[in-house]
Structure 1
Amino acid sequence: MKLKPALLGAAASLAFVPMAMADGHSGERGRDGAVSIIYWQAPSIMNPFLSGGTKDVEAGSMVVEPLARYSETGELVPWLVDEIPTTDNGGVSEDLTTITWKIKPGIVWSDGTPFTSADVKFTADYCMNPEGGCAQITKFEGVTNVEAIDDLTVKVTFDKPTPFPYGPFVGGESPILQAAQFADCTGAAASSCSEQNFNPIGTGPFKVVEFKPNDVITMEANENYREEGKPAFATVTFKGGGDATAAGRAVMETGEFDYAWNLQLAPDVIANMEKGGKGKPVAGFGPLVERLMLNQTNPSPDLGPEERSVIRPHPFLGDPAVYKAMSMAIDRPLLVEIGYGKAGKVTCNWVPAPDAFNSTSMTCDKQDIAGANKLLEDAGWVDSNGDGSRDKDGVELSLLYQSSTNAVRQDFQALIKQWWSEIGITAELRNVDSSVFFGGDAASPDTFQKFYADVEMYANTFNGTDPQSYLANGLCDKAPSPATQWQGENITRFCNEEYDALHKKLSNTAGLEARAEIGKQLNDLIVQEGAIIPLVHRGRLSAHANSLGGVKLNVWDSELWNVADWYRVK
């Protein structure tokens, strides 16, 4: 069996306007002066291993890099190596238990020291340390050993044949950390190393000058970057905070910033901003899904802080009648219309892309209030005291529904609360500043990882076109807890033996068709068992100034994946 990295699904591009095609790569490094970026969800850390927040991963991607990553078309491309290992070129063993990476000679860190296989091995040990908490641990699923064969060769060994071995060190979520800088930051000490986590030494086109958490990052060109003449910009101002509306206006109307990320705004708002003439929106469909996460554990404030969202079961969200009724009551086409327009699609799936992995076994495009009421009634949930909430055995269908602060999300919350009230479920709404909600602060009670609520709503995505690592976020042992410093991406604390067994089968299976079939089964299982209620398959929508060239929106990796290629259009 020969394994070759292949595009597992085409990136459905939704570009509102053509990109500038002028060549901006001639000349000296830093020739174009300053560039300004605004992420209304402010980065709180520059170390992707200590945060599952997209804004942190993407900010970090300008500095720390993986061995390989995904292009804007979803193609796996070499980054710090000369080629992608396969069975054909001998980089992947015939028995599919090892993958060997050959580092490109001559790469140095921003401090001028050599980048070697020792740094790669250290990064694996750092994330896999059982005494720490690593937000990207699913990338190392099945890894038993990472060995530095020589300075430029690193070998990864898996515990079984692994047809898709491109988890570790691939994509913006799995970059390489400098061993020398992070040597004293392993295990339980990882989160306490503020200097290292805020100012990582990297191989990327920029390096941090000053990091102000949840505010602004100042960067400058890495004088030791491996490509001559890149980056074109000498400095970067990376502003965080505010809201999506202000970010969009700052690029398309006022021209204050060059790039605005994740413009989660209504379609008419985007169209009006574009009339400002300073910038243009760009969008593309990847696997990004706005969804409701249903807590499988008990988040009651009556429990201690170390017990909330750890003790099972949830008082009522484990009842199929309840979570099915909650889904049936939602008018998804209306959510798409008011929230995203052509940049949104109704979805019943956690993984709607690539197309090969998009399950067609469920329908959810029609609201059914009457059916939801009957389902609850038949299950014994009645409003016995006339307070508007159904109850059963002394348990009220009353829940806390939280999300990050954003105009579209608050519109969604208000609508869904109303629909749930029509079926006898009372919801208290809460919104949290996005920089905090998606941050990785283990001391904060307000992060999406801690999930001190019954339901929370957000969206995230995964790097690449194969969702194996992403689907691992449903495994029992990937739940955030005090033992993992609240890191981990199994946010709902879903735990199902059948799911774990299916995922193990996926990790052993070769061939797109067979892998896609298992992937769809995993998707269906976690949705049908009530851990996730998908709402909208979202396009990733950002904007850049008319004067900013080289931008290639990437829905399969960090949006800032090719920031080294950006330049000022003259």
Structure 2
Amino acid sequence: MQTPSLSKRSFLKLSAAAGVAGAVGGMAAGPLRALAAGPEPRPGGQVIAGISQEPTVFNPLMPGSEYDQGIWWQVFSTLWYIDADGTIVPDLAAELPTVANGGLSADGRIWKVRLRKGITWHDGTPFTAHDVKYTLDLINNPDFKVRNRVGHSLLRNVTVTADDEIQWVLSEAFAPYMSVLSLTFIVPRHILGKADDPNTAPFNTAPVGTGPFRWGERRAGELVLLEKNPAYHGDGPYLDRVVFRYIPDQTMLYTQFRSGEIDYLGLSGLQPAFDVEARALPDRRIVAAPAPFVEHIALNHGFAPFADKAVRQALYLAMNRKARLEAIYHGRPIETESYVPHGHWAFDDGLPKHSHDPAAAKALLDKAGWLPGADGIRQKDGVRLAFTNSTSAGSQSREQAQQLLKQDWREIGVDMTIENMPGAVIWGEFWQKSQYQSVMVASNFLQGSDPDVTPRFSSKAIPAQGGSGLNTYQYRNPEVDGLLERGSREMDQAVRRKIYQRLQQIIREDLVFLPVSQSVIVEGVKAKLTGYRPNINASSNCWNMRHWFWAA
């Protein structure tokens, strides 16, 4: 979504208007508007959502996946969120803070947020500004295992001025903070604040929120059931309950969607092998929509061979990427060289294009001293060029992709061993603490819809080295650190675009990871299930289940 350059003051004033997400990095989804049209909402019934990875993290401030986020959107609320049109919509906040309404200072550092009155937690306790302060303080508690502190770490003097008003000062202007807060779920002070250790509190397995659905039960390895919150402060919910059914085998997942046992097949999406048949099913809608996820091969730079740039370059040249996307995914994904989604205002379309050139890959490795051994596998200084690659077990398309990748790399004298595991295992400490060697994964690198990637690439965001963030690649680059700092402080979008395009160029040149494609997720819903609306500004299309209902 292209928007004009903005001065600092103009940026802050614009945050009061519809379509504000364009100013902070949003992407509109105009063509999807038609999906929201339909009959008047009818209350009642339930939805069974079929997913291929099991939600296991129910405290929304802790490290979790998009499958966990599907639960968070139902149980919890944010101060505001970004909808499918790229508009920032107040939720717990009564209005967006702006310069015009006194909620923001002209320099973007002083924030005053007014909250809605009359909101209650699921246990009936009133929601107040003290809960917001507790949440922000907990995020910055060094002993708490938080998902991300970027932006929040700049908070100073967080003060409750009334039950329905809170204010704070940022130590410096931080352009992405509006977007960061759109994905910061507020937790209850009266429950977590009494816990001996928020990291292990009972709340983390039986959460209490202010969202449209209340916690029902979890049957480990099977499902999570959520019940309607009759005291919800917003529109809806119209459904009586939502069931997230975990089915790791994606053939079985599709079979249950085809038979009607599942109402919505999402998050992992419909596997390409079932695409043609699914579109012919009666009373179903199959929706393909670009997603912010970028499929890539994550490389752990703490693993010695991957610290050699020549190895990373050779692996990329040896990948027959286009053929793999055509053969397995029928060309659905969008080939990419960047972590920023196509169509985003910060996207750099001038990055070098991938080429499949095994001969060049071999020459690079020869020059770097990685020479074939007796078994054909290259080695250098006694170290074989061999490593494991992991992904979620049960993902047939990725498992097929791994087999082709293994062949590509074997051709140049590289030995890749496949070591897959359940999603709940792989995306735990194995991923978060950089215990892997390489992983096949799709990630949303944006913060809400802002292109700031400090949590992903800052040298201070490496969890395995004591940092707070998502830099599981263990990548370090002083120039990148400097650009990230500049980009987060700059309010002029034209200047920010240049900064983030330079960042994309460095990440692509260094091949921090091996980019494959931007995801186009194909999801299935029953024809009478109304309100479902893909949202490229969220990591889960379950973001608005409160608006779903069954048409007559």
Q: Structure 1 length as normaliser, TM-score?
A: 0.88
Match of 1:281 in 2: 286
AA aligned to 1:467 is P
Match of 2:150 in 1: 138
Map residues 188-199 of structure 1 onto 2, 5 A cutoff.
Answer: 189-193=197-201, 195-199=202-206
Match of 2:4 in 1: none
Structure 1 runs of 4+ aligned residues shifted over 6 Å read none
Match of 2:442 in 1: 459
Distance in 1 between the 2:379 and 2:159 partners? Answer: 57
Q: Is the 8 A contact 1:266 1:341 kept in 2?
A: no
Match of 1:104 in 2: 116
Match of 2:518 in 1: 537
Match of 1:212 in 2: 219
Distance in 1 between the 2:199 and 2:261 partners? Answer: 34
Map residues 355-394 of structure 1 onto 2, 5 A cutoff.
Answer: 355-383=344-372, 385-394=373-382
Match of 1:302 in 2: none
Tell me whether 1:66 sits opposite 2:78 in the alignment: yes
Alignment: residue pair count: 532
Tell me whether 1:423 sits opposite 2:406 in the alignment: no
Map residues 550-565 of structure 1 onto 2, 5 A cutoff.
Answer: 550-557=531-538, 558-565=540-547
Provide the identity percentage: 27
Match of 2:50 in 1: 38
List per-residue Cα deviations over 1:27-56 (Å, max 9, x = no partner): xxxx32222112111101211222231111
Map residues 111-510 of structure 1 onto 2, 5 A cutoff.
Answer: 111-171=123-183, 174-185=184-195, 189-193=197-201, 195-227=202-234, 230-251=236-257, 253-297=258-302, 314-341=303-330, 343-383=332-372, 385-405=373-393, 406-438=395-427, 440=428, 447-461=430-444, 462=446, 464-468=448-452, 470-481=453-464, 488-510=469-491
Q: Is the 8 A contact 1:214 1:435 kept in 2?
A: no
Q: Is the 8 A contact 1:286 1:353 kept in 2?
A: no
Distance in 2 between the 1:457 and 1:390 partners? Answer: 22
List per-residue Cα deviations over 1:404-425 (Å, max 9, x = no partner): 1211111111111111111111
List per-residue Cα deviations over 1:486-538 (Å, max 9, x = no partner): x7311111122221111110011112221122112222323322321111111
List per-residue Cα deviations over 1:335-379 (Å, max 9, x = no partner): 322343353111111223443222234323321111111111122
Distance in 1 between the 2:414 and 2:363 partners? Answer: 13
Q: Which moved more, 1:83-92 or 1:541-550?
A: 83-92
Q: Is the 8 A contact 1:11 1:286 kept in 2?
A: no
Q: Is the 8 A contact 1:388 1:426 kept in 2?
A: no
Shift of 1:212: 2.9
SS of aligned partner of 2:536: coil
List per-residue Cα deviations over 1:185-233 (Å, max 9, x = no partner): 47xx23312x3012211111100111234431111111211246x2111
Match of 1:24 in 2: 40
List per-residue Cα deviations over 1:212-264 (Å, max 9, x = no partner): 34431111111211246x2111122221232333333323x111121111244
Unaligned runs of 5+ in 1: 298-313
| Gap change, CA 1:482 and 1:243, over 3 Å in 2 | farther
SS of aligned partner of 2:74: coil
List per-residue Cα deviations over 1:411-470 (Å, max 9, x = no partner): 1111111111111111111111123323x4x5xxxx3213322211101214532121x4
Distance in 1 between the 2:508 and 2:141 partners? Answer: 31
Match of 2:6 in 1: none
AA aligned to 1:250 is Q
Distance in 2 between the 1:355 and 1:206 partners? Answer: 32
Distance in 2 between the 1:280 and 1:531 partners? Answer: 38
Q: Is the 8 A contact 1:41 1:243 kept in 2?
A: no
Shift of 1:18: 5.9
Distance in 1 between the 2:406 and 2:116 partners? Answer: 54
SS of aligned partner of 1:138: coil
Superposed CA RMSD in Å reads 2.2
SS of aligned partner of 2:400: helix
AA aligned to 1:387 is D
Q: Is the 8 A contact 2:67 2:267 kept in 1?
A: no
Unaligned runs of 5+ in 2: 1-8
Distance in 2 between the 1:62 and 1:160 partners? Answer: 33
AA aligned to 2:214 is K
Distance in 2 between the 1:44 and 1:179 partners? Answer: 22
Q: Is the 8 A contact 1:36 1:258 kept in 2?
A: yes
Distance in 1 between the 2:521 and 2:110 partners? Answer: 35
Q: Is the 8 A contact 1:45 1:213 kept in 2?
A: no
Q: Which moved more, 1:238-247 or 1:201-210?
A: 238-247
Q: Is the 8 A contact 2:458 2:476 kept in 1?
A: yes
Distance in 2 between the 1:185 and 1:316 partners? Answer: 44
Q: Is the 8 A contact 1:11 1:284 kept in 2?
A: no
Q: Which moved more, 1:91-100 or 1:263-272?
A: 263-272
AA aligned to 1:409 is R
Q: Structure 2 length as normaliser, TM-score?
A: 0.91
